[in-house]
Every structure is written in C-alpha cells, then in structure tokens.
Amino acid sequence: MKKMKIGIGIGIVMLLLILSSAPLFAQRNSMSGDIELVLQGIEAGTLSSAEEAGILLMREEEKLARDVYLTLYEKWNIPVFANIAASEATHMDAMELLIERYRLEDPVADESAAAWGSYQREEFEGLYSDLTKQGLASYQAALEVGALIEDLDIADLQKLISESSNDDVKVVYQNLVKGSRNHLRAFIRQLDRYDGEYVPQYITKADYQQIITSRNESGVITDPDFSFE
C-alpha cells in the first residue's frame, strides 16, 4: 500500500509539472494551437460586458474542472481523471487566448493557477469543496461528479454561444463544448461498467441522450455557428 501511495504521489507531481510549471507555449497542445491558428483568420470585435464576464467565468470554470479531476485522480488513481484533467488544462489555455486577445484581467494568476480550489469567484470555491467531498466518497460517486461538471460546462457554453455576437469567441466556445461532450461520454462509459446511472441536471434529457449515444468528436471546429446534430 505504501508503494502504491508513493507511485500515485509521483504521478501527481509529474502531472502538475506538465500542467502548471511548464512554459505557456509548452502547455498548449494541438487543440489550443489549432484554435489559435483559426483565431488568426478572424478579426477581433468589440466585447459586450456580458461577453467579457462570460470569458472570465469560463476561464475559472475550466480550472474548477481541472482541479476536481486532479483531486479525484489522486484518490482513485484512475486514468480517466488524469486524461480529462489534462484536457481541461488545454481548455484553460484556450480561454487564455481570448483573455490575451481582448486584454482582459486574467482571474487565474500565475501563483493561483496551480493551487487546487483557489478561485476569485467564491461560488467556485464552494463547488470545489462540495464536488470533491462527494467524489471522494466512492469511485462511482467520483464518476457522477465528472458527469455533473461536464453537464454544467455544456449548459454554460451553450448559453454563452447563443449570447455572443463575436465569431472568435464563439469558435473557442464551440471547441470547448465539443471537448465537454467527449468528456461526458467518457464518464458515462465508465459509469455503465458499474451499472451506474446519471440524470442530467443542466442540459435537456434530449441533448444528453444525443450526446451519449453518438461517437466521440475530433478535429477543430472552425464554424462559429456550428450545430451539433
């Protein structure tokens, strides 16, 4: 047991080195790099106050997902949490592209980026505490937490896409929601192995069924008005 704990600890350290300590250019994988290329072909617009708030919200919401998954990986040592945590880090990077493009004040400062459970929004601190407590209770509960987070992400991103008038912002959101659909599929597949069941809390049951019964999506979305069908 002691050797297993040491192994898990080393794995967490290595993952944190990748997610938090590496230079920014090294952190951005092909997804965020591809999005950056797409953004180069889209002229920056003028953000409304609501769009600014949405960008800052999603920057921290993606961090919340990453932090919870890292915490649950430390407990359960199951690859799905490590893999999706790494993906959430690229989602954070994608949101940072918009923050840099529009010169917004980044809510994820360097010193806080690696700190699990640290956020400017107090509600996220409460969510981190509640979700990790729930996910630490059992492996099945952890998977349900993962599904819940992706459910919330999809709902929030769908709303932000519908409210945005800037193509560059919508393209980033489209790619993030695509990733969240893939994450939701992964958690549900794991839950199915344990005869678990998840009931959507934020998206409609119709949207949920459409997502989990369809294949994983790949590639970068370049159409700001893309419709998942």
pLDDT at res. 229: 83
Show the tokens assigned to 96: 């940072």
Report the alpha-carbon distance of residue 169 to residue 222 in Å, rounded: 11
pLDDT at res. 27: 36
Q: Which residues of the chain have pLDDT under 70?
A: 1-32, 113-114
pLDDT at res. 111: 74
C-alpha atoms less than 13 angstroms from C-alpha of 216 in its C-beta half-sphere:
11
Report the alpha-carbon distance of residue 156 to residue 173 in Å, rounded: 10
Number of other residues whose CB lies within 10 A of the CB of residue 134:
16
Report the alpha-carbon distance of residue 172 to residue 97 in Å, rounded: 9
Show the tokens assigned to 152: 């919330």
One-letter amino acid of 132: T
Report the alpha-carbon distance of residue 144 to residue 129 in Å, rounded: 15
Domain ranges of the chain: 2-212
pLDDT at res. 30: 58
Q: What is the pTM of this model?
A: 0.86
**Nearby residues of 77 by Cβ (< 8 Å), 6 or more positions away:** 4, 7, 8, 11
Is 151:203 a contact under the CB 8 Å cutoff? yes
One-letter amino acid of 149: I
3-state secondary structure the chain: CHHHHHHHHHHHHHHHHHHHHCCHHHHCCHHHHHHHHHHHCCCCCCCCHHHHHHHHHHHHHHHHHHHHHHHHHHHHCCHHHHHHHHHHHHHHHHHHHHHHHCCCCCCCCHHHHCCCCCCCCHHHHHHHHHHHHHHCCCHHHHHHHHHHHHHHHHHHHHHHHHHCCCHHHHHHHHHHHHHHHHHHHHHHHHHHHCCCCCCCCCCCHHHHHHHHCCCCCCCCCCCCCCCCC
Four-way CATH pick for 2-212: 3.30.428.10, 1.20.1260.10, 3.40.50.1100, 1.20.1250.20: 1.20.1260.10
